Each structure stands twice: as C-alpha cells, then as structure tokens.
C-alpha cells in the first residue's frame, strides 16, 4: 500500500469513527459508512484541514502542488460538503442564480 493510500484510509476511517482495520473490512464487504457529524469528527477534520492549509501557505507557485496534496484537498472538501448536507447557499451561488435568471432584451 502506498503512503497516499494509507493516508487516505486513515483519514476516512477517522471521519467514520472506526479503526483502519474496521474500515478496510467494511469496504471489502461493500458496507457503507454514514458519517454522523459529532464534535470528535469535526475536530479531526478541522485539524486535517489546518495541516493542508499550512502546506498550501508554504507554496509560492501552485503548479508545484503534488498529487498527494491535491488528493487530500479533494477528499477533505468532499467530507466537509457531505457533512454540511443542505448548507446555506453562498453569496456567489446566489449571484450565479440571479444572473442565470436574467433575460436579454
């Protein structure tokens, strides 16, 4: 198993509130996990996001971003979006909707 795969499994297992072994076995048996947001999962995700943020702050040129960091950012964003569920729409999304509804004369 590569380092990237190991980090991904570790992060997903922590988010699901299970051990890595339990996570791997559940995936082998095609069982799904439902992440119920609790303070522990939130703190773990927040700390992981903080580490990614620190790495991103060190970059001077985003073209130097390695594939591992990109994969971690994508995974964390998916987890945050999944936990947020029906989060309120942001200002940019509201503006996009308004523009899409405008008619040309």
Residue span of the structural domain in which 42 resides: 3-101
The percent of residues above 70 in pLDDT, for the chain, comes to 83
Check whether 87 has a pLDDT greater than 70: no
Residue with tokens 């947001």: 37
Q: Which pLDDT value is given to residue 86?
A: 54
Model's pTM, two decimal places?
0.52
Q: How confident is the model at residue 1 (pLDDT cuts 50, 70, 90)?
A: confident
CA dihedral (85, 10, 75, 73) positive or negative = positive
Average pLDDT, the chain: 78
Total structural domains within the chain: 1
How far is Cα 83 from Cα 60, in angstroms, rounded to an integer?
A: 31
What pLDDT digit, counting tens, does each position of 47-79 carry? 888 888 787 777 777 777 777 777 887 887 777
């Amino acid at each position: 198993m590569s380092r990237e795969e190991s980090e991904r499994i570790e992060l997903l297992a922590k988010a699901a509130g299970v051990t890595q072994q339990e996570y791997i076995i559940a995936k082998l048996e095609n069982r799904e996990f439902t992440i119920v947001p609790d303070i522990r999962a939130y703190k773990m995700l927040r700390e992981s996001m903080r580490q990614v943020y620190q790495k991103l702050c060190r970059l001077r040129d985003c073209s130097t971003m390695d594939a591992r960091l990109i994969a971690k950012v994508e995974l964390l964003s998916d987890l945050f979006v999944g936990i947020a569920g029906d989060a309120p729409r942001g200002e940019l999304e509201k503006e996009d909707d308004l523009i899409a509804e405008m008619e040309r004369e």
